[in-house]
Amino acid sequence: MDLSALILFCVYLVNIILLIFILFYKNRPRSWPFFWMLFLIVIWQSTELLNIIWFVDLEEPILLFSVQAGILPTLYLAPAFVRLAYSLFGKWKNVSNFKKFLWWLPSIIMSFFVFTPYNLKDLMVINSRFYYVTGPLYYFFAVYFVSALAYGLYFLAKNRKMSGPIVRRQVAYIFAAVAIAAVAGLIFNIIFPILGMYDLYYLGVNSTIFFTVIMTYALFRYRFFNLKMFGYQIFMNFFKLLVTVFIYYILYLLFHSVVMIDFSIFQNIVFFLMVIGLTAPFVFNIVSRLSLALFLSPNNDIKVAIDRIVDILRSSRDLDVLLSRLSKEIDRVVDFKEMFVYFSKKKDLDVFYQIFPVGERLLNKADSNLIDYLSRKKQIANLAEIDYFFADKGLIEEMKEMRVDVALPIFYNKQLLGILLLDNDGKLLSIQELQFLGELNKYLDIAVGSLLLYQQDLSNK
């Protein structure tokens, strides 16, 4: 097995694992269209593995038949992608059966010519590699494949702005995945064979790993990492590891060249490993502190913001000052447009009035889906996620009407005392931002509840 076959085998295993994952995924209606695309890719890769590992050493008619069979599942990849594009916006079920049939019809017609010279005319085997000569139908397949794929991308782009923030982010990832796979497939599996260059065919097959990994991440998550922060964190960890290794390399040179320790002796190696084991945590911690001092760190900024919020909540006794300072710290992490805070009335805990900024708006639990949701769920209400899962249409309409994207409940002694509302102009919050708001919510529950009780005691006195 050469390197290309090994890469293909690894890609194949990854896709098999993803297929199994989809079968047991709880939200299968959304993932089912992608399952069939991935299933077609796995069949295609199965034939390629059989060809380069087993059939390449058999008689030419058997190999030719197997190579032609490998073309069959790829015929249906493009219309399957169109179906995925429609399904992402919930529109495939509205397409008439006749139009659905028309999308699949070219693939069905060309399937009857797959095992004929009109598809692949001849096959050449050189140094345990096979190269095929295309027939006239291959050109039509190329045009159909590119056209259907382009229409699917056009449909995604056309409907992207009308969808929710989560679907918009998914579409962005899908564009990247399809672009990588389509360019690789077009170049190595269609254009190069047509031009007579056959030795890079396997690269088109192997490039599907980027497609499946990116698509799986896009379609099976509704919370996404902030890639800038995520990439920066990887860079910082690599930098810290590199500096730590370099320090111990310098230490090794000192022991070896200056102290003249012979590391060919087993006892000396054990001694050096013990020195590394005992000192590595301290060295790595020093390097981490040094890197934070030298470089900007978005992740550390979140930690600093949480520490500042804790100090604000602990030290403030004036509610207006507390909320004003709190909004500034939240704005360092979450780029919100407006923030509103409501507290329940003393005499009627089901009625909430706006206290920040000072206003006259009231929310009644009996009439508010949002108050009812926060009371029942006892967790952050994120409009993007509620809209994505179609969880509560009344709640979705109310939050959109109020221009609220995120609502944090403020509990004390299991009683909903208030809510903090954020309008971030419909932008999708990253995992890091949601984790920050989750930490903030924990401190709010304790601090604001204690502050209200403190003010009530003062008023009673």
Would the CA dihedral through 119, 122, 123, 124 be positive or negative? negative
| 29-33, 292-296, 306-310, range with greatest mean pLDDT | 306-310
Helix 431-460 with 319-333: angle, nearest 10 deg? 180
Q: What is the pLDDT of residues 328-376, one digit of tens each?
A: 889 988 989 999 999 888 788 889 989 888 877 889 988 999 999 999 9
Residue count of the chain: 461
> What pLDDT does 423 receive?
95
Confidence of residue 407 (pLDDT cuts 50, 70, 90): very high
> What pLDDT does 51 receive?
79
Specify the pairing of strand 129-134 against strand 120-126: antiparallel
Q: What is the pLDDT of residues 130-142, one digit of tens each?
A: 666 778 887 888 8
Say which CATH superfamily domain 3-219 falls into: Rhodopsin 7-helix transmembrane proteins (1.20.1070.10)
Judge whether 3-219 and 299-460 match in fold: no
Tell me yes or no: is domain 299-460 CATH 3.30.450.40.
yes
Q: Is residue 207 within 8 Å of 234, Cβ to Cβ?
A: no
> What pLDDT does 395 receive?
94
Q: Is the pTM of this model over 0.85?
A: no
Q: What is the pLDDT of residues 410-424, one digit of tens each?
A: 987 788 888 999 999
Confidence of residue 28 (pLDDT cuts 50, 70, 90): low
Cβ neighbours for 367, distance < 8 A, ≥ 6 positions apart: none
Confidence of residue 428 (pLDDT cuts 50, 70, 90): very high
Domain boundaries, the chain: 3-219, 228-296, 299-460
> What pLDDT does 437 receive?
93
> What pLDDT does 267 receive?
85
44: left (phi over 0), alpha (psi -120 to 50) or beta: alpha
**396: pLDDT strictly greater than 90:** yes
The mean-pLDDT minimum among 103-107, 236-240, 367-371, 393-397 falls in 236-240
Cβ neighbours for 334, distance < 8 A, ≥ 6 positions apart: 422, 424, 429, 433, 436, 437
